[in-house]
Amino acid sequence: MTDDPRTPDPSGAAAAAARLPAGTARRLARQLKDLAEPVRLRLLSMVVASGHEGIRAGELSAAFALTKPTVSHHLKVLGEAGLVARERSGTQIIYRSTPVAQRLHTVLSRFSRPDPSGAPAVGDAHEGLRSVLDELGIEERAERPPWPRRAAADRPLPGLLDPEDLLDRVQERLTIRFSGMFSPETVQRYLRDSYEMLSHSAAVTAHLPAVTERFAAERLTAIAQRDGIADKTVPEVLFVCVLNAGRSQIAAALLRHLAGDRVQIRSAGSAPAEGIDPMVDEVMAEVGIDLCTEFPKPLTDEIVHSADIVVTMGCGDACPVYPGKRYLDWQIPDPAGQSRPVVRRVRDEIDGRIRAELLPDLLG
C-alpha cells in the first residue's frame, strides 16, 4: 500500500469527500460547462470585480473589444446559470455577480496560482478536485462536524446548497401526500413550476425549496378542491394585492387570527416582492401576529378558481374573474415605504373591514 497522500483511498475520508449528491453534481456540471469558455470566464471575473456597484454591458464590450450582442449573449448564459443578476437603473442595465458566482470565482481562481501554504499543487487533478469540493462545502456532511460546531468560514454558502437534491426530497413528500389525487408527474410539474415562479422574486434562495413546498402544496390542494377530487370543508378566502408584501399579508394574517381553522385563507400578489415589508412585519407584531413564516406568492389561476371570496386591494385587472364567486375590491392605501403610524392605520382599516364585511358571512 502506498504512502503517497495523493493516492485515492476509496474507504477513507477522501473518498467520502468526493461523493457528490446527484443534484449537486448536475448543478455544478451545468455551471462549470457555462464557464468553460475563456471570454465568458473573463467577463464573469470583471462582473465579480465590479463589486456591489455592478457594471454595464457597454463597459464589458469596451474592455474586451467585443460587440454588445456578443457580450449580451454571454451575460444571458451566465444569468441563466445563476451567476449574474441584472437590474435596471434608469435607462441602463447593471450587471452584478451573485453570491454563488463570487464564491465559485474565488475557488476557481486558485487553479491559476500556487498555494502559498505549500499544499499540493492544485494542478494535480485529484487534489485540485478535493480542494474545490472542500471550498464549496458540498462534501458528505457525515465527514464534517455537526452544523452548530462548524466555524462560519466552514459553513456552505446558502446559495451553493444545491436545490436539486432538496427538491427531489420535496417531490417525494408531495407525491406521498397527494397520492391517489395526482400522478407523480403532475406533482413534479407543479413543483418545478412553483419553484421557477418563486425564484424570480425570492431574495434568499437558501429557503426557496422549503417555501416552494408550501406553495406547490397550496396549488395542488386548490386544484383538487376545484376539480372535486378533495372535499372543501370550510369557506375559502383569497386576498390579492400587487406585491403580496403588505395589504394582502395583513388581511390574511388578521382573518387567520380571528377565524382560526374555520376558514381557508390564502394570499397572493400580481407582481410579488422579494419579502414581507419590514414595517408591516413590525406593526403586526404589535398585535401579537408573527409573519416570520410568510412569504410573497404569485397569483395563479387555480388559487383564484378555488376561492369562494376574492378580496382585491389595488391589483387592478390582474385577478381573473369567475362566475359564482364573491368579489370585494377594497380601496386601501399601499403601506410600502410608509411610516409606522401610516402602516398602523392600514392595519386597523383592514381589521375593521374584515370584521364588518367578512366575518358575519363566514362565521355566521
Q: Mind listing the pLDDT tens digit for each residue in 290-343?
A: 998 899 999 999 999 999 999 999 876 667 777 888 999 999 999 999 999 999
SS (H, E, C) the chain: CCCCCCCCCCCCHHHHHHCCCHHHHHHHHHHHHHHCCHHHHHHHHHHHHCHHHCEEHHHHHHHHCCCHHHHHHHHHHHHHCCCEEEEEECCEEEEEECHHHHHHHHHHHHHHCCCCCCCCCCCCHHHHHHHHHHHHCCCCHHHCCCHHHCCHHHCCCHHHCCHHHHHHHHHHHHHHHCCCCCCHHHHHHHHHHHHHHHHCCCCCHHHHHHHHHHHHHHHHHHHHHHCCCCCCCCCEEEEEECCCCCHHHHHHHHHHHHHHHHCEEEEEECCCCCCCCHHHHHHHHCCCCCCCCCCCCECCHHHHHHCCEEEECCCCCCCCCCCCCEEEECCCCCCCCCCHHHHHHHHHHHHHHHHHHHHHHHHC
- The predicted pLDDT at position 145 comes to 35
Range of 60-74, 128-142, 143-157, 322-336 with top mean pLDDT = 322-336
Mean pLDDT within 139-165: 40
Average pLDDT, the chain: 78
pLDDT (mean) for 16-38: 65
Q: Which three cell numbers stand for residue 304?
A: 383564484
The domains spanning 13-154 and 163-363 adopt the same CATH topology: no
Query: Could you state, in order of their start, the residue ranges of all structural domains in the chain?
Result: 13-154, 163-363
Q: Which of 353, 215, 229, 355 is nearest to 293 (CA)?
A: 215
The pLDDT score that the predictor gives to residue 221 is 96
Q: What is the mean pLDDT of residues 66-83?
A: 81
Read off the pLDDT band of 23 (50, 70, 90): low
> How far is it, in rounded angstroms, from Cα 213 to Cα 170?
6
* Catalytic residue of the set 241, 279, 311, 346: 241
CB 34 within 8 A of CB 41: no
Cα(234)–Cα(44) distance, rounded to whole angstroms?
52
CATH for 13-154 is 1.10.10.10
Which of 254, 319, 350, 362 is labelled catalytic? 319
The arithmetic mean of pLDDT across residues 196-217, rounded, is: 78
pTM for this structure? 0.58
Class of domain 163-363: alpha beta
Place of cell 400580481: 270
Query: Which residue in the list 81, 315, 346, 354 is annotated as catalytic?
Result: 315
Please say if 292 is a catalytic residue: no
